[in-house]
Amino acid sequence: MQLYLPIADIPVNVFLILAMGAAVGFVSGMFGIGGGFLMTPLLIFVGIAPAVAVASVASHIAASSFSGAISYWRRRAIDPLLAAVLLVGGTLGTTFGVWTFTFLRSLGQLDLMIALSYVILLTTVGGLMFWEGLRAMLRSRGGGAVTLRKPGSHGWIHGLPLKLRFKRSKIYLSVIPVVVIGLIIGFIGAVMGIGGGFILVPLMIYVLRVPTSTVIGTSMVLTLVTMVFATMLHAVTNHLVDAVLALILMIGGVTGAQFGARAGQKIRGEHLRLLLGLLVLAVGIRFAVELVIRPQDLFSIRETGGAPP
Amino acid sequence: MRLRALLAIVGLAAAGLAAAPARAERLIVSVSNHRVTVTPNYSGGELVLFGSVEKDDKTPPNRGNYDLVVTVSGPRADMVTRRKERKFGIWINTDSRQFLQVPGYLALFSNRPFDQIASPEVQRRQQLGLNNVLLMQRVGPDFADVVPNDPFRSAFVRLRSEHGLYREATSAVTFLTPTLFRTGIPLPAEVPIGTYNVEIKLFSEGALVTKTETAFEIVKVGFEQFVATTARQNGLVYGLVTAFMALMTGWMASIVFRKD
């Protein structure tokens, strides 16, 4: 069934978009991530302009992270204070990200920047995850206990001033690194159309030493608020959010996520990290290949000014 | 504004040239539909243009070999053509050229090849064929069209043609009788929304005899129209509604799939 998307201005097959939403939802439910880093490239691949894809995926991630956040809230797995401090940075980062997005779009280099940041971010994060997962798997196979960190070790992060006690996470931590992490996630989220969960969760675990009981729920709250905020900003400044596209994605996404979450519980943690690492790495490499090989067409056309009244 | 004035001058000049030959024939034309609506499942369509050549007593009696060129041009917009080049090992957009107020849709139809209808000089002046249509570019501080084989111009025409938005068909106009003609105007799915001008030029023995114009419009209706205008004019409300919709969908999902 063909449907005409009002903002993207192209007809698409509803079932294709729905299936894409469900597939990405499945993956996101399985790994506990937003899945924006898969959704945005897929939309670009079916012919939707990168700018529209980035802006519309923001609202799609808002929907999936909200349903996730509700269930984590019921299980009291969200640290409200930690989420609030992260959000201070996240909001600033998102504003700056949308502004950068608008600026790059006017320069005509937005597509390149989106592709480049995907390559750098995904290959780095994917490579690290893959390596870490592989090591953890080898260690557990060797019989040794899997220790991700030593409980007593405190890095320089913990020597910073402005310390605050986060009761539910049971940590005592400076607000500076928390705000900075929020800022980074908000910025890349707005520019790249990703929720950033797959970067935020490792950062919170390894840098902030947030216990695993609250890490995913709290990161979902940050994702939720930054993506709602990004949707608003993209709608107001660039008029690029396609609500029809977003709604189809959401319906597919939230359904797929439920099945993904069930599948995820059957797989062991290290295997899950290894798989996620591979997936992230693969998407990154795909973008890299596209930049390096000679494009089929060296020329491209983009409309700059709307039709005169 | 400068550009608008420039286009107006070009238009006036063209009108002045057209008025020169004695008007002995009259063209009567009509399109099958003056208002094409783009609905949610729009996947392209075709309009039909009908017309006839009316002769009067001033018409030379031996005149009969008419040639007809139909130019359909859609809503105008500024567009940028960019060229990728290899820099630091990756392909990035480097050079670009701006096309000013060029038609989003452009189709030229005739009953036989343009070079058989008129001399190169007339073809150029009457803008017959995609190679001769005026596509204004910003060249430094000036506005000008360039030679047809300019890489940016030809890439622009080629890319638009690949999407079916620019086309040229030199056998699309058929004469049903020596004076009655018809042609189809194909409209692809991604056709831009707006007003389309149709210019019909009648030639005989290599010279323009007369011309006429008609128009049709392509409009989005119903929900599409509503969504598109709201997004553009009330960005804040649109954003709020979209964000609210996202939250509702997420909330519904958590209710529907609640495990306990």
In a domain, A137, yes or no: yes
pLDDT for the residue B198: 92
Distance from CA of B254 to the nearest CA of A (A): 5
Residue with tokens 């452009």: B106
pLDDT for the residue A154: 55
Listed ranges A27-36, B50-59, B233-242, B249-258; the one with the highest mean pLDDT: B233-242
In a domain, A276, yes or no: yes
- Among A291, A302, A110, A109, smallest CA distance to B87 is for A291
For A61-70, A134-143, A198-207, which range has the lowest pLDDT when averaged over its residues? Answer: A134-143
Distance from CA of B182 to the nearest CA of A (A): 30
ipTM associated with this complex: 0.75
pLDDT tens-place string over residues A108-143: 677 777 778 888 888 888 888 888 878 887 877 765
Which distant-in-sequence residues (6+ apart) come within 8 Å of A271 by Cβ? A133, A137
Helix and strand numbers (H, E) in chain A are 10, 5
pLDDT for the residue B20: 44
pLDDT tens-place string over residues B206-225: 888 888 999 999 887 777 77
Residue in A232, A235, A303 nearest the CB of B77: A303
Cα A65-A212-A137 angle, rounded to 5 deg: 105
In a domain, A309, yes or no: no
CATH class, B23-74+102-134+146-221 region = mainly beta
- Among A98, A130, A94, A283, smallest CA distance to A202 is for A130
Q: Which domain holds residue A24?
A: 2-292
pLDDT, greater one: B85 or B49: B49
The three-state secondary structure class of B116 is helix
Segments making up each domain of chain B, as ranges? 23-74+102-134+146-221, 222-254
Which distant-in-sequence residues (6+ apart) come within 8 Å of B101 by Cβ? A308, B3, B7, B76, B77, B78, B136
Task: Tell me if B246 and A241 make a contact (CB, 8 A cut-off).
Answer: no
- Tell me the pLDDT of chain B averaged across its residues: 80
Q: Please state, in angstroms and rounded to a whole number, the distance separating the CA atoms of residues B159 and B83.
A: 12
In a domain, A10, yes or no: yes
CB A261 within 8 A of CB A33: no
CA B72 to mean position of chain CA atoms:
5
**Mutate which of A239, A244, A251, A265 to test chain B, going by most B C-beta atoms within 10 A?**
A239
pLDDT for the residue B200: 92
Task: Tell me if A66 and B246 make a contact (CB, 8 A cut-off).
Answer: yes
Task: Tell me if B236 and A232 make a contact (CB, 8 A cut-off).
Answer: yes
Distance from CA of A125 to the nearest CA of B (A): 21
Task: Tell me if B245 and A243 make a contact (CB, 8 A cut-off).
Answer: yes
pTM (2 decimals)?
0.69
Task: Tell me if B247 and A66 make a contact (CB, 8 A cut-off).
Answer: yes
Task: Tell me if B41 and A64 make a contact (CB, 8 A cut-off).
Answer: no
- Quote the radius of gyration of chain A (alpha carbons, Å): 20
> Residue A83 is encoded by which pair of tokens?
């989420």
pLDDT band of B49, cuts 50, 70, 90: very high
Chain B residues with CB-CB distance to A254 below 8 A = 249-250, 252-253, 257
Number of domains chain A contains: 1
Task: Tell me if B253 and A63 make a contact (CB, 8 A cut-off).
Answer: yes
**pLDDT mean over B239-245:** 88
